[in-house]
């Protein structure tokens, strides 16, 4: 499959990376506050860690589909149901968990550390694997036997979407910095958590 024919898949990958990288829950909001206090460049390093972790996982998952596609197609309903419940629980936990954002320490800037503080959790988190596995199962990519080259470009499109989002976050925060306070981050956490819960119900209804 040529890249021109695969453009819809690459566009989907970009959109997925952009949406999945949206900061959700207390840790996501703390990441936003790090960008808020440390400036736009922080979004490139923090977002770069997230995007790189996403890209690696996506490549592994897409290549893994060629090995486990039979199982995925056979158990597609249950995988979708489990994924929907997982998304609901993530949103509910983020909604009810109390986090004091005002006590977040602003440490001395270390760009490598900022990258690793997001890259390592994303790369080692089962949630990342489950999230992308569920998304690609919903999109039917398990039915396609993608070669390594196309899997790489889809992974790169996911990486690009995530990095673009965090770049936009850094630029936006640069212009609205003087208008934001801690209670805004609390409400942002609640809103993003509710979006996840609503999404989980819509996925269950669509089964």
Residues 61-111 have pLDDT tens digits of 888 766 655 665 566 677 667 767 776 776 787 677 665 544 444 455 567
Contact 175, 87 (CB under 8 A): no
Say whether pLDDT at 27 is over 90.
no
Residue 94 lies in a domain: no
In sign, the C-alpha dihedral spanning 102, 104, 106, 112 is: negative
Domain that holds residue 69: 7-73+105-180
More confident residue, 50 or 138: 50
Residue 85 lies in a domain: no
Say whether pLDDT at 186 is over 60.
yes
- Show Cβ contacts of residue 187 under 8 Å, excluding neighbours closer than 6 positions: none
Residue 72 and residue 156: Cα distance in Å, rounded? 24
Residue 80 lies in a domain: no
- Show Cβ contacts of residue 206 under 8 Å, excluding neighbours closer than 6 positions: none
Residue 11 and residue 124: Cα distance in Å, rounded? 26
**pLDDT tens digits for 36-55?**
667 777 788 888 888 999 99
Say whether pLDDT at 116 is over 70.
yes
- The DSSP symbol for 109 reads P
More confident residue, 144 or 18: 18
More confident residue, 55 or 128: 55
CA-nearest of 33, 42, 180 to 111 is: 42
**Residue 114: per-residue pLDDT:** 77
Residue 1 lies in a domain: no
Q: How many structural domains does the chain have? A: 1
Dihedral pair phi/psi, residue 115, rounded to 5°: -65, -50
Residue 11 lies in a domain: yes
**pLDDT tens digits for 97-107?**
665 544 444 45
99-136 in b/e form (b: 16+ CB < 10 A) is: bebeebeeeeeeeeebbeebbeebbeeeebebbbbbbb
HSE at residue 148, side-chain half, CA atoms within 13 A, is 0
Residue 64 lies in a domain: yes
Residue 96 lies in a domain: no
């Amino acid at each position: 499959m040529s890249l021109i024919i695969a453009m819809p898949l690459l566009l989907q990958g970009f959109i997925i990376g952009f949406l999945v990288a949206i900061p959700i829950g207390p840790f996501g909001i703390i990441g936003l506050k790090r960008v808020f206090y440390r400036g736009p460049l922080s979004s490139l390093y923090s977002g770069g860690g997230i995007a790189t972790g996403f890209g690696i996982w996506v490549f592994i998952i897409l290549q893994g589909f060629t090995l486990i596609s039979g199982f995925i197609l056979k158990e597609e309903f249950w995988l979708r149901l489990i994924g929907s419940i997982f998304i609901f629980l993530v949103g509910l936990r983020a909604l009810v968990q109390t986090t004091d954002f005002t006590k977040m320490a602003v440490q001395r800037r270390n760009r490598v550390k900022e990258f690793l503080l997001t890259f390592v959790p994303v790369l080692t988190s089962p949630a990342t694997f489950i999230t992308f596995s569920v998304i690609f199962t919903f999109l039917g990519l398990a039915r396609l036997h993608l070669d390594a080259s196309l899997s790489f470009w889809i992974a790169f499109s996911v990486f690009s979407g995530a990095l673009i989002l965090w770049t936009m976050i850094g630029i936006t925060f640069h212009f609205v910095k003087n208008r934001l306070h801690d209670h805004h981050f609390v409400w942002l956490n609640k809103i993003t958590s509710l979006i996840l819960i609503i999404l989980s119900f819509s996925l269950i209804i669509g089964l």
